[in-house]
Amino acid sequence: MEIRIFDTPAQCGNACATLIAAQIIKKEDSILGLATGSTPIPTYNRLVEMYQQGIIDFSKCRSFNLDEYVGIPEDHPCSYHRFMRDNLFDRVNIDIANTHVPNGNASDLQKETSSYDKAIIDAGGIDVQLLGIGRNGHIGFNEPGEKFITPCHEVTLTESTIEANKRFFDSENDVPRKAVSLGIGAIMRARCVVLVATGKDKAQAIHDTVKGEITPDVQASILQAHPNAILFIDKEAASML
């Protein structure tokens, strides 16, 4: 695992966007694994700037997002479909038909999750997977538990995640209790994984991810076993290393 520490979240975002841009320049039909949350916003802003400057072209890229809540409409202001349109898809020239976010409203979630995994494999696998990290060490919505769950699956969110995500909703009661998440398998199969973490409230999770043993209690710790994982973290998130 390679670790790079920056002074500010904006610098982490610039570095991460540069890595993704390099991937797109190297392979114009790259498969991008994308993430939501507050952390990737500086990365997306910088990617949009690079697109506007003519440095990168998304027209042949395809993307697969990590996760989506179960049971809120796609156009809900807190849905990850909406987040991706607002922060990236509607601001660059990616073909929306080439973007994929799990359908948390599928009538058959089992079918949805297995076809999502298959679509990634059929596309040739993820070239670069962008990740945030939860305060509890989750990646995607792979919550702490007894094992690493390999396939895309339905998840019951932990209290810690509901607490962390309530800031986006009107009240804690409005936070969905379930989600669909890419499993650890697809994340580990990505050819490159880049995890961004900023702020003091990620310091413990980053410590456990980097210095702890590999354990499903800290799902991100599995990245120690990934051959090409890079962490872009700010000084605050690095403060316990």
The DSSP 8-state label assigned to residue 204 in this structure reads H
Residue 57 annotated as catalytic = no
Q: Which is nearer to ligand PGA, 113 or 136 (CB)?
A: 136
Which residues are CB-neighbours of 62 under 8 A, at least 6 positions away? 29, 30, 31, 32, 98, 99, 100, 123
Q: What is the dihedral of CA 11, 49, 88, 6, to 10 degrees?
A: 0
What's the CA gap between 212 and 214, in Å, rounded? 7
Active-site position among 65, 67, 117, 153: 67
Under rule CB under 6 A, how many of the chain's residues touch ligand PGA?
Answer: 6
Q: How far is the CB of 29 from ligand PGA (least distance, A)?
A: 27
Q: How far is the CB of 107 from ligand PGA (least distance, A)?
A: 27
**79 and 103 Cβ atoms separated by less than 8 Å:** no
Q: Which is nearer to ligand PGA, 133 or 231 (CB)?
A: 133
Residue 143 annotated as catalytic = yes
Q: Which is nearer to ligand PGA, 62 or 138 (CB)?
A: 138
Q: Which is nearer to ligand PGA, 113 or 161 (CB)?
A: 161
What's the CA gap between 22 and 25, in Å, rounded? 5
Q: How far is the CB of 102 from ligand PGA (least distance, A)?
A: 15
Q: Which is nearer to ligand PGA, 53 or 171 (CB)?
A: 171
102 binds ligand PGA (CB under 6 A): no
Active-site position among 136, 142, 208, 234: 136
For residue 84, the one-letter residue type is M
Residue 95 annotated as catalytic = no
Judged by CB under 6 A, the chain residues 17 through 46 that form the site for ligand PGA are 37-39
Residue 153 annotated as catalytic = no
CA–CA–CA angle 91, 166, 107 (5° rounding): 75
Active-site position among 65, 68, 112, 138: 138
**63 and 101 Cβ atoms separated by less than 8 Å:** no
The interface mask with ligand PGA, positions 119-148, x = CB under 6 A, is -------------xxx--------------
Instruction: For strands 2-6 and 99-100, give the pairing.
Output: unpaired
Which residues are CB-neighbours of 170 under 8 A, at least 6 positions away? none
Binding site for ligand PGA (CB under 6 A): 37-39, 132-134
* Residues with a known catalytic role: 67, 136, 138, 143
